[in-house]
Amino acid sequence: MQITSSIKIGISACLAGDKVRFDTGHKRSNFCMDELVHHVEYVKFCPEVAVGLPIPRPTIRQVKVGDTIKVCRPDGSGDVGEQLTEYGKRVATEQAKSLSGFVFCAKSPSCGMERVKIYNEAGTGNTSEGIGFFAKQIMTHNPLLPCEENGRLNDPHLRENFVMRVYVFKSWQELVASPVGLHELTQFHAKHKYLVMSHNYESYRALGRYLAQAAAEPIEQVKDNYISGLMNALSSPASRKNQTNTLTHLQGYFKNDLSKIEKQELCSAIDEYRKGLVPLYVPLTLLKHHLKVHPNEYLAQQVYFDPYPNELKLRFGI
């Protein structure tokens, strides 16, 4: 995938190694700061510090008082929920539009995407059903922005899916930075067809049909509908079944080019992937080799083959 400008990702400052936590510590993400950092530019945020809390500081947590949730100290004092919400709204509407993704600190009362603890007023029990006040504003105002938590990035499937979505979203941002028509949208979709197929076959068909019938709609509406459908289709990691189906479709392009032995080798690689015996990069490497030997202009433009830099080795673990 060709990206022509810097990819900016928002990140909780503690994940970048900044010592901004209540105890003057950090929660540095090795993947973000040792691997992904070579390909993106981070924009750091610490909501607690931004609303005036000191370092070090007393711990804060979400506490349910009646029908209201506060973000306060364990004794109920020092509620900063309103300040965190307002700060989140400002970032979401003024800065997040220039971002192509966001990595939040898990379980944080300000930055957690999900499963944040909400304590009862007496402090004797809690439920894990909260969303960080800052993170909620970012996600609510930017529903298509790829977001993930540091803990979930340890899962190779979630990590690969997040980075892929960041690169697709950045590519879309670059496309629509200039005026585009239905022709440009159709070209963009053509390049992403097999990537979409590998995640959601029904969306692959539906998005193609939509663009084919969208000539009468206002272009801004078409753009909104298309990118919403695309990002939703890519929102979950691709299943082994869908990946196998996509690989088999791609294999069909070489049916008249390969020798009997080459066909058998490729079939075996795809089947071994289907059975979980080899990672995705094994059959993909074979397909990319055959594409070099037997050029195909349509396949060569498919984002599916290289959705992000190969140096990240994200397909080695899926």
pLDDT tens-digit series, residues 100-132: 999 999 999 999 999 999 999 988 888 999 999
Which pLDDT tens digit goes with each residue over 170-229? Answer: 999 999 999 999 999 999 999 999 999 999 999 999 999 999 999 999 999 999 999 999
Tell me if the bond preceding 74 is cis, omega within 30° of 0.
no
pLDDT at site 174: 97
Average pLDDT over residues 248-261: 97
**Backbone region of residue 76 per phi and psi (left: phi > 0; alpha: psi in -120 to 50; beta: other values):** left
Amino acid at position 89, single letter: K
Average pLDDT over residues 52-77: 94
Q: How many CB atoms lie within 10 A of CB 316?
A: 13
Which pLDDT tens digit goes with each residue over 293-310? Answer: 999 999 999 999 999 999
291 pLDDT higher than 70: yes
Q: Give dist(CA 21, CA 158) in Å, integer.
A: 26
What is residue 239's DSSP assignment?
A: P
pLDDT at site 1: 63
Which of 112, 114, 109 lies closest to 64, judged by CA?
109
2 pLDDT higher than 80: no
What's the predicted TM-score (pTM) here?
0.96
H-helix or E-strand containing 203? helix 201-212
280 pLDDT higher than 80: yes
| 3 — pLDDT class (breaks 50, 70, 90) | confident
pLDDT at site 199: 98
Beta carbons of 10 and 41 less than 8 angstroms apart: no
Percent residues over pLDDT 70 in the chain: 99
Beta carbons of 137 and 92 less than 8 angstroms apart: yes
| 260 — pLDDT class (breaks 50, 70, 90) | very high
Six token digits for residue 256: 């008249």
The DSSP-derived string for 88-139 is: HHHHHHHTGGG-SEEEEPTT-TTT-SS-EEEEETTSS-EEEEE--HHHHHHH
Contacts of 39 by beta carbon, 8 Å cutoff, 6+ apart: 7, 308, 309, 311, 312
pLDDT at site 122: 85
Six token digits for residue 318: 């899926």
Task: Give the chain's mean pLDDT.
Answer: 96
pLDDT at site 31: 97
